[in-house]
């Protein structure tokens, strides 16, 4: 009977050892996933960073790099209506909009289109003189607009005031956001011509 108990004890010990290895391996995988998730979370923990600045707010001063042209500041948005559109390659609607930009298919809008992307994605989006592409290195424009969400669009009036905010998932929604200027009586001074490639 002692040999049966010894075999049972050894089998139970091996089973406990196997379970311990599985638990440690699972905890390591969970730790890796949690570290990755923590790295991808926005630097600001409050929800206001995803909502962005409110309509009626004046855009704060910022500087960024305009692809192919050099420095771009918030002052460059003054004088004509603009839609500032934040895009990121991590969201499906953004990728569709980016693919259209790469192909040169930008429909007409009631305002100048300023596309803000990560610097690593910006060079390939400089498709025409009708679209201003800003390359963010340190999220300087996103911080100014208090956003981490993509796609996220801001209609900016000629005097630098946000007149509408939205999350346009396609070019029709971008055009509707651009049309918000006429709702408030602001003159329609510029349009973006359709670019075909």
Residue 193's pLDDT is: 29
Give the number of other Cβ atoms within 10 Å of residue 30's Cβ: 10
- Residue 183 burial by Cβ neighbours in a 10 Å radius (0-12, 13-18, 19+): exposed
Q: Is 185 left (phi over 0), alpha (psi -120 to 50) or beta?
A: left
Q: Is 85 left (phi over 0), alpha (psi -120 to 50) or beta?
A: beta
Q: For 81-106, write each residue's pLDDT tens digit.
A: 999 999 988 888 888 888 888 777 77
Mean pLDDT by 10 residues, the chain (197 residues): 87 94 93 79 48 89 87 91 89 85 73 84 65 86 89 91 89 84 42 30
Residue 84's pLDDT is: 92
Residue 144's pLDDT is: 92
**Structural domain boundaries in the chain:** 1-41, 48-183
Residue 24's pLDDT is: 93
Return the CATH fold of 48-183. Answer: Glutaredoxin (3.40.30)
The structure tokens listed for 75 are: 């002052």
State how far the Cα of 17 lies from the Cα of 54, in Å rounded to an integer.
58
Answer yes or no: are the C-beta atoms of 146 and 88 closer than 8 Å. no
Residue 129's pLDDT is: 59
pTM, rounded to two decimals: 0.66
Residue 189's pLDDT is: 30
């Amino acid at each position: 009977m002692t040999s049966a108990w010894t075999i049972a004890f050894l089998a139970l010990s091996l089973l406990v050892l196997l379970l311990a290895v599985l638990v440690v391996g699972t905890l390591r995988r969970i730790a890796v996933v949690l570290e990755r998730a923590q790295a991808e979370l926005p630097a600001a923990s409050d929800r206001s960073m995803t909502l962005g600045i409110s309509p009626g707010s004046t855009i704060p001063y910022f500087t960024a790099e305009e692809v192919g042209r050099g420095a771009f500041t918030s002052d460059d948005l003054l004088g004509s209506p603009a839609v500032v559109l934040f895009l990121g390659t991590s969201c499906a609607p953004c990728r569709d909009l980016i693919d259209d930009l790469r192909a040169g298919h930008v429909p007409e809008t009631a305002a100048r289109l300023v596309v803000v992307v990560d610097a690593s994605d910006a060079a390939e989006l400089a498709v025409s003189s009708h679209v201003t592409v800003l390359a963010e290195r340190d999220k300087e424009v996103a911080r100014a607009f208090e956003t981490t969400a993509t796609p996220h669009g801001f209609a900016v009036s000629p005097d630098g005031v946000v007149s509408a905010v939205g999350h346009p998932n396609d070019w029709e929604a971008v055009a509707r956001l651009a049309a918000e200027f006429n709702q408030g009586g602001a003159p329609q001074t510029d349009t973006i011509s359709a670019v075909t490639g």
